[in-house]
């Protein structure tokens, strides 16, 4: 991996920014260069939320990205808004639980992920975002699973949320090609 540029997008409340934070922490743990640039509307749940994450072996000059290697679209508005930003040959991770349309482009790799279905299958309906994160890691190797598990344990599911770690770890590996 030299550089991966990701846009992670969806509705507020879907855990989009959390995925960006997890990838960013994991990249830092792996001593990679990383930027995290969140963007969200004034309404927390139900509004739009997205973030740009750049992970690189080399220093990053700017946290902005006109074009990205990977897009995670958790809802249709996100797909419609950011599909054109993906480079030819890049990946679109599509939350097929909510998005019934296919991307208009044929020069990208479309990876449908039944995030809600897989989350329900493992018994944790609220872990759709972690299922998507696992799919991204599986396909891109932007960071390692082991590092993400460490981030979940040390940064995300701590204190009163510590009990959620065991429920979310299976979501990381729920999706396979």
Q: Please check whether residue 94 lies inside any domain of the structure.
A: yes
Sorted by sequence, the CB contacts under 8 Å of residue 162 that are 6+ apart come out as: none
d(Cα 67, Cα 64) in Å, to the nearest integer? 9
Nearest to 172 by CA among 29, 20, 25, 19: 19
What is the SS3 assignment for 111?
strand
Backbone angles phi, psi at 114, to 5 degrees: -80, 75
Q: Please check whether residue 45 lies inside any domain of the structure.
A: yes
What is the SS3 assignment for 46?
coil
Nearest to 76 by CA among 102, 57, 37: 102
Percent of the chain as helix, strand, coil, to the nearest 5:
40, 25, 30
pLDDT confidence of residue 12 = 86
16, two tokens: 């989009």
Number of domains into which the chain is organized: 1
The CB density around residue 117, as the number of other CB atoms within 10 Å, is 14
CATH code for the domain in which residue 71 is found = 3.40.920.10
Q: Please check whether residue 12 lies inside any domain of the structure.
A: yes
Rg, C-alpha atoms of the chain: 15
Q: Considering the entire predicted model, what is its pTM?
A: 0.94
Provide the domain limits for residue 166: 3-172
Contact indicator for 172, 133 with CB cutoff of 8 Å: yes
Q: Please check whether residue 177 lies inside any domain of the structure.
A: no
pLDDT confidence of residue 13 = 86
Please give the chain's pLDDT, 177 residues, in tens. Answer: 689 999 999 998 899 999 999 999 999 999 999 999 999 766 556 677 999 999 999 999 999 999 999 999 999 999 999 999 999 999 999 999 999 999 999 999 999 999 999 999 999 999 999 999 999 999 999 999 999 999 999 999 999 999 899 989 999 999 987
Q: Please check whether residue 47 lies inside any domain of the structure.
A: yes
């Amino acid at each position: 991996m030299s550089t991966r540029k990701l846009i992670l997008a969806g509705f507020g409340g879907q855990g989009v920014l959390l995925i960006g934070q997890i990838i960013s922490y994991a990249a830092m743990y792996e001593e990679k260069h990383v930027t995290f640039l969140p963007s969200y509307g004034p309404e927390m749940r139900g509004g739009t939320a997205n973030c740009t994450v750049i992970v690189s072996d080399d220093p990053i000059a700017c946290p902005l990205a006109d074009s990205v290697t990977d897009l995670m679209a958790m809802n249709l508005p996100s797909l419609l808004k950011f599909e054109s930003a993906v480079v030819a040959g890049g990946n679109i991770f599509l939350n097929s639980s909510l998005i019934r349309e296919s991307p208009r482009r044929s020069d990208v790799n479309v990876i449908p992920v039944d995030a809600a279905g897989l989350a329900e299958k493992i018994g944790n309906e609220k872990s759709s975002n972690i299922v998507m994160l696992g799919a991204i890691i599986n396909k891109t190797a932007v960071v390692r699973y082991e590092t993400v598990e460490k981030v979940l344990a040390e940064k995300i599911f701590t204190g009163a949320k510590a009990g959620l770690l065991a429920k979310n770890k299976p979501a990381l590996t729920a999706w396979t090609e």
